[in-house]
Structure 1
Amino acid sequence: MSVTSYSLFFFFRFFFFFFFSAFYVHSKSLPHLSSPYLSPTTISPNYHHMLKSFKIFIYPPDEDLAFDSRAESLFYASLQNSPFVTHNAEEAHLFFVPFSSSLSTRSIARVIRRLRLDLPYWNRTLGADHFYLSCAGLGFESDRNIVELKKNSVQISCFPASDGKFIPHKDISLPPLANSRAANAQANKTTSFLGYFRHTGVKESTLAKKLVNDPDFLIESELSDQLTYAERLASSKFCLFEYGVDVSGIGEALRFGCVPAVITDRPIQDLPFMDMLRWQEIAVFVPVVGVKELKRVLVRTWGDRHEQMIRLGAKASQHFVWNELPQLFDSFQTVMYELWLRRHSIRYPRRESE
């Protein structure tokens, strides 16, 4: 093996060790936390300031918009009907570039070129005070218009984001829309199971095959009715999710006190509200390991800090609720807060339009 290969090997080994140490190897002497937020003293005043002052200008779309996911449709409908929208572009903090999910990259480039030629706002920042909605996300292209859109503008995509199409700390991921809304069951936290794993829609789940014969885990492949589903969540210590497969129930897991355990083979950089929530305190992140190692991590985590994780997770769960009519701190308004945090764009020097 060459010197370069050895260097890369030890770099990635250190990187993965550091990531998983930060996310799921915690000291028993962790301080008591009363808030799931990274900045608990600033979120409330900032949030209410955002509600009063934040303004967004929506460019008129070239055609009726169609989206691939219900979360995208809910976000766009909520944005259109929200008090954040202004018809005076001069008072806008951010500009929304609307286009359908099915629009080709070439067509999106034409949309950006038209904005550059017809209106002054794109050229002031080269798109840094603009944002767009794309569930699948955009890749890097050679066309200047797409380069500026991808590099400078805020992308709102679905969680989990497509590999290589998400830029951390700039882009935003929509919280997943649950497959079913669990009933508000008054279920006792009996913790009958160490872990609950529902793999609906996954034909061949390797994780399910590993756990199916273990009595400490409840494995389901069919959707339960809402009451039964709520009871499953409330009677399990951990809810298992395979990153990149199906994470639609993560918000409901938090709400019912089932600590999310996300199984992943790489660091996660696109968690919803990652620059706002203390994810390492409301969920556990476990590398792809065998059943014994998985159980060891879960048992240790439960013994060290389960009460705090459940309490903080319940507070954070309000941000994972999608409503037809937006409410305070729900999914739509929290995404808006994330946008508001990004409103201070870097001012690029103006260039001549092509």
Structure 2
Amino acid sequence: MEKRFRIWTYSEGEPPIVHSGPTSGIYSIEGHLINEIEDEMNPFRARNPDEAQVFFLPFSMANIVKYIYRRGMPDYWGPQCRLVADYVDIIAKKYPFWNRSLGADHFMVSCHDWAPYLSSANHQLYTNSIRVVCNANKSEFGFYQAKDVPLPEVNVRHRRLQHHINPYPPSNRSILAFFAGHAHGYIREILFRQWKDKDQDVIVHEHLPRGLNYEEFMLKSRYCLCPSGYEVASPRIVESILAGCVPVIISVNYSLPFGDVLNWSKFSVNIPVEKIPEIKSILGGISERRYSILQSRVVQVRLHFELNRPAKQFDLINMVLHSIWLRRLNLRLPY
């Protein structure tokens, strides 16, 4: 990939809608990816379109929603969809690359929940293009694993990338399982109804009590619960892995990031929604040897979930680019 993969970025458009994106908060990976791909020093950047294998549409769905959408507006989706459709139409009319592949060798990136739906503004973008999205729900918005890419959700706080954390060894992890977060979506409602403030081993808070440190709880926990919110993705998956805490995936129809090369069953635990009441018995029933193997593998895969600027070999950004490269390899163009 490093020798052959090249990305051409269209220059049309202006910030903040195009060539820009959020670099802090839960949508931050969107802005960091846009900035990294467009960076002049990016080794994957094509110097001319003829050497490119894929073509990048650098609009920010998160910023489209931020600057265009207004609560209570009579036309809920229209202005946002028209902006996406108009941008693709400009590209298709000005350059030959979109029409020769019907958009199949083009990609967009977004972490906003609405991005998969807004991509339907252009039928070819929705059905043919590579959509790199956090909301990788296999049952909604036409997300197709063979062509679309699940994007890890990363919560960058105060515009600071997470520093390298030395995870605690298993002997220093006294908490069986931990979660703290808002009651977004039905899965978390079930989790709170069963476990909120009720158990000393499975610690679940909607609001972490004042004086307690969220990161410290993750470092001291054997398992970190990662329930979906309103949508399937959660930044807790990345947070738990960086903390060396075995992620417990509680979701429905979520296409996990980097599933082409990472076997999630080797370093995480999946608990179906209907078995949320059994969390303590399921996790408590995992042997010490099995837990040690899971935890050691979490530490091994951490480098793939680290967000660096500039990007580093095998880190999160390069893993995303590798996922795009794999989709492109599966594509056979007529020219």
Q: TM-score, normalised by structure 1?
A: 0.73
- Consecutive unaligned residues of structure 1, counting only runs of 5 or more, are 1-49
Matches of 1:193 and 1:109 in 2, distance apart?
49
Query: Which protein shows a greater Rg?
Result: 1
Equivalent position of 1:253 in the other structure? 240
Within a 5 Å distance, the mapping from 1:318-337 to structure 2 comes to: 318-337=303-322
Q: Say which SS state the counterpart of residue 342 (structure 1) adopts.
A: helix
**Closer, same or farther in 2 for the Cα pair 1:217/1:346, shift >3 Å?**
closer
Greater relative contact order, per chain length (Cα 8 Å cut-off, separation 6+): 1
**Alpha-carbon shift at residue 349 of structure 1 (Å):** 5.1
CA deviation string 1:155-194 (max 9, x = no partner): 0112555961222121112212135547735644333221
Aligned counterpart, 1:3: none
Match of 1:207 among 191, 198, 201: 191
SS in structure 2 of the partner of residue 244 of structure 1: coil
Q: Is 1:70 matched with 2:28?
A: yes
Task: List alignment gaps of at least 5 residues for structure 2.
Answer: 65-78
- Give per-residue Cα distances to partners, 1:110-159, cap 9 Å, x unaligned: 3223333322111221111111123332338887xx11111111001125
The CA deviation at 1:207 is: 1.2
RMSD: 3.1
Per-residue deviation, 1:243: 1.7
Q: CA deviation at 1:206?
A: 3.7
- Partner Cα distance (1:182, 1:206) in 2: 33
Are 2:101 and 1:155 aligned?
no
Q: CA deviation at 1:57?
A: 0.7
Of 218-227 and 185-194, deviating more is 218-227
Post-superposition shift, 1:285? 1.2
1:130 matches 2:106:
yes
- Count residues in correspondence: 297
1:8 counterpart residue number? none
Task: Give yes or no for the alignment of 1:60 onto 2:11.
Answer: yes
Q: Distance in 2 between matches of 1:148 and 1:257?
A: 41
Q: Does 1:98 align with 2:84?
A: no
Corresponding residue to 1:119 among 95, 99, 110? 95
For the residues of structure 2 that align with 1:228 and 1:149, how far apart are their CA atoms?
43
Contact 2:80 2:118 in 1 (8 A): no
In structure 2, relative to structure 1, the CA distance for the partners of 1:236 and 1:167 (3 Å cut) is same
Match of 1:174 in 2: 151
Question: Aligned residue for 1:30?
Answer: none
Structure 2 residue aligned with 1:192, among 161, 168, 174? 174
Q: Secondary structure of the equivalent of 1:289?
A: helix
SS of the aligned residue for 1:84 comes to coil
What does 1:8-47 align with in structure 2 at a 5 Å threshold? none
Between the aligned partners of 1:272 and 1:284, the Cα distance in structure 2 is 15
Instruction: Summarize the alignment of residues 291-302 of structure 1 with structure 2, pairs less than 5 Å apart.
Output: 292-302=277-287
Counterpart of 2:71?
Answer: none
Match of 1:282 among 267, 275, 280: 267
Identity of aligned residues (%): 29
Contact 1:185 1:227 in 2 (8 A): no
TM-score if structure 2 supplies the norm length? 0.77
Partner residue in 1 for 2:67: none
Amino acid at match of 2:194: K
Would the alpha carbon gap of residues 183 and 85 (structure 1) be closer, same or farther in structure 2, given more than 3 Å must change?
closer
Q: Distance in 2 between matches of 1:326 and 1:333?
A: 7
Tell me, yes or no, if the aligned pair for 1:94 and 1:343 is still in contact at 8 Å.
Answer: yes
- Whether contact under 8 Å (2:134, 2:153) holds in the other structure is yes
Amino acid corresponding to residue 260 of structure 1 in structure 2: P
Q: Secondary structure at the match of 1:325?
A: coil
Say whether the 8 Å CA contact 1:191–1:235 is kept in structure 2: yes
Alignment counterpart, residue 202 of structure 2, candidates 206, 214, 217: 217
Cα separation, 2, equivalents of 1:285 and 1:95? 35
**Distance change in 2, residues 1:305/1:229 (3 Å):** same
2:163 and 2:48 map into 1 onto residues whose CA distance is 41
